[in-house]
């Protein structure tokens, strides 16, 4: 074999020496050339393209995607593991150290700030390495919740210029997503004029605000936006960035929705424990003010992102993103941004491309296009159906009418029972007008029973909610519900509540109810002896269906209340004790469409059984709601019915909490005072509710004490000791015998002392303060003989 064709693997030293003598150059032990004729030797000895020198391999970061900024030292990683353990412990024990009077005796924040400052000092200069480290990235996320505005700005500024690499990294992308999520509160404080105090430093330069940082980050990722939105690690970061630019896209209760995190990512994040600040209890749970106008610069950047995606992708590429599991949520978010910016009406928009030219046809006044197989495929695809839900929700009104006629009208019986398409139909029913809703009810009249049998109640519930919002077609909706549950005669319709809760027709419900041992039968299919699920157990979908019916205008909601009245009191209490069916009672007492007369009749029906109702975890909640709704007269009736059952309520684990609000001892001793007390509580609660609804929410301005507030705020009130509820027996004994005096306490009546400052000498002995005159009397007692001590005591 010629020497020019080297074998793969490490060469022996002898082979290296022989080869160096032939080439006329000196080589070291590792086989690298040591003379200055390296370039000439490479020309005379061409090597294959896959051979890369070791020096160039170490300097090329692109060949190591797992650590693009280098690996973190083992000692640094061990230190941050201890930091993580300490922060986890603080987050679990967030209450702090409190004294007996309720005031904080020891401030734990000072120790925590010193510890946190040491961790931040150790992090300085290693932010990128730690953010891309598989072990330390989650620690950085946990620490970000405890950073104040200044530290957060410094941390994000230290990674400027590298966000394009961080966004596409497996672990760095989650750090960026957490920072963008927390930056919303900082931006909102900056818009109010609240800035942290920047400490003096010898470093030159100006620290950018969070608003400027976000704008610069957007400009940095703007050229690579089409590739990032389809990247498996960068897609969720871009979606979080879009939510930061347009905060009204996602509601506060949907912060962890599938638009921002996948189910797998959300489950993994939940296993990491609580994510909140270690300094303040309320920090991390702050609610942003939705009424605050957002920065116009953010809206301009969001518009620019939409235009870049339009120009970079053609129609086929945009449509291909709909079926991609990674790119589809990003495209859905871009459609939301486009609709929020008012750009969906333009021909050639992203909405127009996905709907296959429907927007263009509506804007030009042309005839509506034919139905596309592409959108029919989106209807039945698990991934793309979410995108179609966004389309029918945010498209213009004229475009929605075209989509309804092309893809929904005449096809509703098949789509309503489809396991995927029924969600799109339910979303489309939320935008229908009266004519379209009436046509849908007539078209689905024979298909409601199939949808209920398949436990797909979304379409029926959406129709009920739309009718309640339009305040029309209530008769047709009630007829549809009776048809779905096979309730034909008036006697059968009295079973509306049990049939709807179990999602069974009237015939199936009676068949299951006639089998008393249905819940105790073992599941023979699995052969493991597990108990089968009770077929008469209330279902969540059925409970939501009844809650929607209670929102209908008067008198159509009465069908639910009448069905509840026909049930025996034992079954009514059983429904209140269930976690699913008790929500129906909650909506019945809180719905604005139900009259007070109907609510009062419902509350009165439980009189004589409130001790049974309150003796349960969920039943006690229903009892509390009934008590809060009642006026003073009705409260007295409820309380007097519970007087014979005081011992039962006192011995109940849940009923004792309900009995505390009754104050039955005061009712028996002084009924008039009890009535006045209940009237005052009712008035106070109504005033508090009114003030909370009218007063704007004020957010805590700062995270730490090193910040300046633009407007002066009143200091927080000092913590007070929680007063123990006075017992009537204690009040009676105090009135007869006087106040109790603690043993070992010396009470001295003040006398006519001329100069208290001179006569009084404080002596700290056993915690008692003794003045000069009293000490003289005690000395006389000690020095007197045994027989004279009585006289000294009398003196």
Q: What is the DSSP string of 500-543?
A: HHHT--HHHHHHHHT-TTTTTSB-TTT-S-PBPPPTTSPPHHHH
Three-state DSSP class for 349? coil
Q: Residue 66: name the closest of 126, 137, 120, 122 by CA.
A: 137
Report angle CA 250, 256, 258 to the nearest 5 degrees.
80
CA distance 693 to 665: 35
Distances (CA, A) of 635 to 616, 651, 708: 20, 22, 50
Report angle CA 496, 499, 502 to the nearest 5 degrees.
140
DSSP assignment letter at 767: T
Domain boundaries, the chain: 1-52, 74-93+107-198+206-285+293-308, 756-794
Helix or strand holding residue 491 (H, E): helix 490-493
416 Cβ contact list (under 8 Å, min separation 6): 422, 425, 444, 447, 451, 456, 459
CA distance 33 to 762: 91
| Main-chain dihedrals φ then ψ at residue 551, nearest 5 degrees | -90, -5
CA distance 424 to 463: 13
Three-state DSSP class for 745? coil
**Euclidean distance between the first and the last CA atom of the chain, given in angstroms as a whole number:** 126
430 Cβ contact list (under 8 Å, min separation 6): 393, 462, 465, 466
Q: pLDDT at position 688, please?
A: 67
CA distance 27 to 33: 5
Q: Residue 20: name the closest of 7, 10, 9, 33 by CA.
A: 33
Query: Hey, CA dihedral for 734, 735, 741, 743, is it positive or negative?
Result: negative
Peptide bond before residue 306 is cis, with ω within 30 degrees of 0: no
Q: pLDDT at position 103, please?
A: 43
CA distance 603 to 623: 9
Burial class of residue 619 in the structure, from the number of CB atoms within 10 Å of its CB (0-12 exposed, 13-18 middle, 19+ buried): buried
Question: Cβ–Cβ contacts within 10 Å for residue 329, how many?
Answer: 26
CA distance 130 to 139: 9
DSSP assignment letter at 69: T
Do residues 159 and 180 make contact, with C-beta atoms less than 8 angstroms apart?
Answer: no
CA distance 549 to 560: 7
Query: Hey, CA dihedral for 228, 231, 237, 243, is it positive or negative?
Result: positive
Burial class of residue 21 in the structure, from the number of CB atoms within 10 Å of its CB (0-12 exposed, 13-18 middle, 19+ buried): exposed
Give DSSP secondary structure letters for 295-342. Answer: PHHHHHHHHHHHHHHHHHS-HHHHHHHHT-TTHHHHHHHHHHHHHHTT
Distances (CA, A) of 161 to 165, 218, 220, 221, 308: 9, 11, 7, 10, 20
Question: Cβ–Cβ contacts within 10 Å for residue 470, how many?
Answer: 13
Q: pLDDT at position 270, please?
A: 78
CA distance 334 to 56: 41
Q: Residue 536: name the closest of 524, 519, 520 by CA.
A: 519
360 Cβ contact list (under 8 Å, min separation 6): 347, 348, 352, 366
CA distance 29 to 773: 99
**What's the chain's Rg over C-alpha atoms?**
37
Describe the chain by its helix, strand, coil percentages, rounded to 5.
55, 0, 40
Do residues 299 and 338 make contact, with C-beta atoms less than 8 angstroms apart?
Answer: no
CA distance 789 to 781: 6
- The alpha carbon of residue 519 and the mean position of all alpha carbons in its chain are separated, in whole angstroms, by 36
Bin 523: left if φ > 0, else alpha if -120 < ψ < 50, else beta.
Answer: beta
pLDDT averages per 10-residue partition of the chain, 795 residues: 47 46 41 41 47 45 72 92 91 54 54 90 92 93 92 93 93 93 91 82 75 94 93 93 87 56 77 80 47 77 93 92 91 92 90 91 81 90 92 93 93 94 95 95 92 92 95 93 92 93 92 65 46 79 95 93 94 95 95 93 94 94 94 93 90 89 89 90 72 45 36 43 52 50 42 43 40 45 46 41
């Amino acid at each position: 074999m010629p020497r020019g064709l080297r074998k793969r693997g490490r060469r022996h030293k002898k082979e290296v020496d022989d080869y160096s003598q032939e080439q006329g150059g000196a080589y070291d032990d590792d086989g690298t050339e040591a003379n200055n004729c390296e370039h000439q030797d490479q020309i005379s000895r061409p090597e294959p393209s896959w051979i890369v020198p070791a020096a160039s391999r170490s300097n090329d970061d692109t060949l190591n995607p797992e650590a693009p900024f280098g690996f973190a030292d083992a000692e640094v990683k061990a230190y941050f593991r201890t930091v993580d353990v300490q922060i986890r412990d603080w987050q679990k024990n967030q209450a702090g150290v409190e004294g007996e009077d309720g005031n904080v005796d020891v401030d734990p924040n000072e120790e925590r700030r010193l510890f946190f400052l040491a961790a931040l000092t150790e992090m300085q200069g290693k932010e990128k390495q730690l953010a891309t480290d598989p072990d330390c990235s989650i620690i950085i996320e946990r620490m970000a919740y405890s950073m104040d505005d200044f530290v957060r700005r410094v941390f994000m500024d230290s990674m400027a210029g590298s966000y394009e690499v961080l966004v596409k990294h497996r672990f760095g992308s989650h750090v960026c997503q957490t920072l963008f999520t927390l930056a919303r509160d900082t931006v909102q404080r900056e818009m109010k004029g609240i800035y942290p105090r920047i400490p003096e430093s010898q470093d030159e330069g100006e620290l950018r605000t969070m608003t400027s940082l976000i704008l610069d980050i957007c400009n940095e990722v703007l050229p690579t936006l089409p590739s990032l939105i389809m990247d498996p690690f960068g897609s969720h970061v871009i979606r979080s960035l879009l939510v930061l630019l347009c905060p009204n896209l996602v509601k506060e209760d949907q912060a962890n929705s599938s638009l921002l995190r996948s189910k797998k990512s959300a489950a993994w994040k939940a296993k990491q424990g609580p994510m909140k600040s270690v300094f303040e209890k309320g920090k991390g749970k702050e609610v942003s003010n939705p009424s605050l106008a957002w920065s116009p610069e953010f809206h301009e950047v969001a518009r620019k992102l939409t235009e870049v995606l339009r120009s970079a992708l053609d129609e086929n590429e945009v449509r291909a993103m709909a079926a991609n599991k990674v790119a589809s949520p990003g495209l859905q978010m871009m459609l939301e941004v486009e609709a929020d910016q008012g750009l969906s009406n333009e021909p050639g928009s992203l909405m127009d491309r996905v709907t296959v030219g429907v927007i263009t046809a509506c804007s030009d006044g042309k005839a509506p296009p034919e139905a596309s197989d592409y959108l029919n495929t989106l209807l039945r695809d698990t991934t793309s159906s979410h995108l179609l839900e966004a389309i029918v929700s945010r498209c213009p009104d004229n475009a929605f009418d075209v989509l309804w006629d092309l893809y929904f009208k005449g096809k509703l019986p098949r789509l309503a029972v489809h396991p995927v398409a029924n969600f799109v139909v339910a979303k489309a029913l939320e935008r229908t007008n009266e004519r379209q809703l009436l046509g849908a009810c007539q078209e689905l009249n024979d298909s409601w029973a199939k949808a209920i049998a398949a436990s797909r109640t979304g379409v029926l519930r959406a129709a009920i909610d739309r009718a309640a919002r339009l305040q029309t077609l209530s008769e047709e909706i009630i007829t549809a519900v009776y048809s779905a549950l096979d309730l034909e005669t008036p006697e059968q319709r009295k079973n509306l509540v049990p049939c709807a809760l179990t999602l069974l027709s009237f015939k199936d419900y009676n068949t299951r109810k006639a089998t008393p041992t249905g819940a105790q039968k073992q599941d023979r299919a699995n052969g493991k002896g597990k108990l089968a699920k009770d077929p008469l157990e209330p279902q969540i979908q059925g409970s939501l269906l009844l809650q929607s019916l209670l929102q209908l205008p008067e008198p159509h909601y009465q069908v639910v209340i009448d069905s509840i009245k026909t049930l025996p009191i034992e079954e009514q209490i059983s429904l209140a004790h269930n976690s699913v069916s008790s929500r129906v009672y909650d909506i019945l007492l809180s719905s604005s469409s139900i009259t007070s007369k109907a609510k009062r009749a419902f509350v009165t029906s439980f009189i004589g059984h409130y001790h049974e109702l309150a003796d349960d975890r969920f039943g006690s909640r229903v009892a509390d709601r009934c008590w809060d709704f009642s006026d003073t007269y009705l409260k007295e009736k409820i309380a007097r019915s519970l007087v014979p059952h005081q011992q039962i309520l006192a011995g109940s684990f849940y009923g004792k909490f309900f009995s505390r609000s009754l104050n039955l001892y005061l009712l028996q001793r002084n009924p008039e005072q009890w009535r006045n007390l209940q009237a005052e509580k009712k008035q106070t609660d109504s005033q508090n509710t009114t003030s909370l609804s009218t007063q704007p929410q004020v957010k805590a301005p700062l995270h730490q004490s090193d910040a300046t507030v633009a407007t002066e705020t009143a200091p927080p009130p000092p913590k007070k000791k929680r007063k123990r509820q006075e017992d009537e027996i204690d009040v009676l004994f105090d009135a007869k015998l006087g106040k109790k005096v603690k043993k070992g306490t010396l009470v001295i009546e003040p006398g006519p002392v001329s100069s208290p400052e001179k006569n009084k000498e404080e002596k700290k002995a056993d915690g008692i303060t003794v003045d000069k005159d009293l000490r003289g009397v005690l000395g006389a007692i000690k020095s007197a003989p045994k027989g004279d001590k009585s006289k000294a005591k009398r003196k």
